Homo-oligomer: A and B are copies of this chain.
Amino acid sequence: MTTVREATFDLFRQRGMTTIFGNPGSTELPMLGPLPDDFRYVLGLQEAVAVGMADGFAQASGNVAHVNLHTAPGVGNGVGAIFGARANKAPLLVTAGQQARSLITMQANLTNRDAVEVPKPYVKWSHEPPRAADVPYAIAQAIHHASLPPAGPAFVSIPMDDWLVEIEPVDFSTQIARTVGGRAQPSPEQVAVLAERLRSARNPVFVAGPDIDASGGWDAAVELVESQRLPVWASPPTGGNRIGFPESHPAFQGMLPPAVGPLGETLSGHDLVLVAGSSIFPYYPNIPGDFLADGTSLIAITSDPDEAARAPMGDAIVADVALTLRALVDALPGPAEREAPPARVELDPPAAGDELTGGEVHATLAELFPEDGIVVLESPSSTVALRNQLRLSRPGSYYFSASGGLGFGLSAALGVQLAQPQRQVVCVLGEGSAQYAITAFWTAAAYEIPVKFLVLRNNEYSILKWFASLENVTGAPALDLPRLDVAATARSYNVPATSVAGREELHGALADALAQDGPRLVQVDVAAGMALA
């Protein structure tokens, strides 16, 4: 005989899931205490932070990450971040405590009345075991669901009196021993058709999406692009939670614009668009036009059946992105005879003026950026400038929220750093976006997680002002954000922080922060408006 708790912790061990992110409440205590010595608990002071940390940890480790939340109100606070994890395809096990079984039917305080419904639109699977004995089995299932492609969050609600129930091996031993794999190659026929479409294309183009990075497909993508002489675009940054191709590569042309008309125009002139590891496409503002120009066809490789089904144009192959790219390289007859792709259009230098611009900030960051550094980005008004200045060119170097929601950046940066302790994480935030997960600074300090934070402060929701002008909306309230001081707030949570203005001061402060151990924050005042270069 063993207990539900012992069997479940054995399962976690077996899966390498010995880190638990969470925010505890009374309904979680019987699971958490006593925490075995080989486990680590990372506390977030609000649930959005706990889920965001787990999202970053999952993506940067490639393994399922576990986040434990407090019954209904705790899960509720985490739903936005769970939506983000779904968009990011982060394999998450989300567990939550539940009232004792004897108190659920009467809906005693802290009953999660509709436990499985709450996160349902955003989790791949949602379950509350009908018997205590099924808890380890349910959690094993959730881990499988989370990791099978497309990866994402899965949820289990666990009545608090289940943990110490004694169970028999038949209830858990075969169930938790199972492994399940879902990385699939396309059929030989699909590969052959794809290879022939590419071989015979006059002027094909490659669009690199985030799942190249998640599937480990950088090498295959570079090999394909070089042998076939393909120009490369990144899929629109709005949905690009990772970078799928080296942005300093000579074939790299830039980022596709995130709107129907402009994107179609950008790809016009190509007879074939080969998209790997991206939805088609993460459009954001509504600028109508042709999805693709006449004479342009599209084929997408994705491990996500929903992405394949919902695309408004083009064909799709559902299979692992890296394996498909590799199979495609192997199926092609050899290097193509095409002309080399053109050099990327030279970008203007970052706008300069009396006030520092986002582009200048990121040019400064680029001068100092560690060779093996990782960016976690949530600065909506300077996303494009950062990409253009840093030209990140190593796998696993960039994390961004594909959901369009805020709060991911600050919390995910901690999870990424914990998963990649040998690489320096730089978290780039707007002073507005920092607010959605601000208490993560406490966790950074309390757990000595050495993320360096760079906060661009422009006293407004710039992206919304930009969007309003695009949509001819005037007079919207609350687009200004006066008197936010993220440096002061970070200091109040024990993260050493400094506030600077001007490029030289910024350079010095950033260099200093990067040279220190532990978390550090640099806040820099920048001009209002969008930073695109």
Residues of A within 8 A of B (CB): 22, 24-26, 29-30, 32-35, 41, 43, 45-48, 70-84, 99-100, 102-103, 105-110, 113-114, 117-118, 120-122, 161, 236, 238-239, 258, 279, 282-286, 288, 310-312, 403-407, 432, 435-436, 438-439, 442, 445-446, 461, 463-464, 467-468, 471, 473-479, 482-485, 488-489, 491-494
Contacts and interface: CB of A to CB of B under 8 A. Distances in A.
A477 B72 contact: no
Given A77-B81, A107-B310, A442-B484, 4 more contacts: A106-B312, A109-B238, A109-B282, A110-B404
A22 B479 CA distance: 12
Query: A-B pairs with the 4 shortest C-beta distances?
Result: A73-B405, A34-B475, A76-B80, A33-B476
Contact of A35 (B70, B477, B483): B477
Contact of A76 (B82, B99, B286, B484): B82
B476 A32 contact: yes
A33 B483 CA distance: 23
A22 B404 contact: no
Contacts of A117: 120-121
A99 to B, nearest CB: 8
A286 B483 contact: no
15 contacts: A25-B404, A26-B285, A43-B477, A45-B435, A73-B404, A73-B407, A74-B405, A76-B82, A77-B436, A107-B310, A109-B282, A110-B284, A161-B286, A446-B483, A492-B492
Contacts of A489: 489, 492-493
Contacts of A70: 405
Question: Main SS of the interface on chain A?
Answer: loop
B29 A468 contact: yes
Given A34-B474, A492-B488, A26 B310 contact: no
B468 A73 contact: no
A464 B25 contact: yes
Nearest to A433: B45
A24 B478 CA distance: 8
A481 to B, nearest CB: 8
Nearest to A78: B80
> How many copies of this chain does one complex carry?
2
A125 to B, nearest CB: 15
A82 B35 CA distance: 32
Given A32-B477, A73-B83, A404-B109, A467 B435 contact: no
Contacts of A84: 73, 76
Given A73-B80, A476-B24, A46 B121 contact: no
Contacts of A464: 24-26, 29
A67 to B, nearest CB: 13
A323 to B, nearest CB: 25
A153 to B, nearest CB: 12
Given A110-B284, A284-B108, A475-B34, A77 B405 contact: yes
Given A118-B121, A492-B491, A109 B24 contact: no
Contacts of A258: 109
Contacts of A107: 279, 310
A100 B492 contact: no
B33 A475 contact: yes
Q: In this complex, which of A26, A286, A311 has the most chain B Cβ atoms within 10 angstroms of its Cβ? A: A26
A476 B26 CA distance: 11
Contact of A79 (B79, B110, B113, B488): B79
B488 A77 contact: no
B76 A30 contact: no
A406 B69 CA distance: 13
A387 to B, nearest CB: 16
Contacts of A404: 25, 71, 73, 109-110
Given A107-B279, A491-B488, A492-B491, A436 B46 contact: yes
A55 to B, nearest CB: 13
B405 A76 contact: yes
Contacts of A446: 482-483
Contacts of A239: 109
A45 B436 contact: yes
Contacts of A110: 284, 404
A345 B279 CA distance: 67
B282 A108 contact: yes
B33 A468 contact: yes
Contact of A72 (B35, B405, B492): B405
B106 A29 contact: no
Given A35-B476, A77-B80, A489-B493, A435 B445 contact: no
A114 B121 contact: yes
B436 A438 contact: no
Contact of A24 (B22, B32, B461): B461
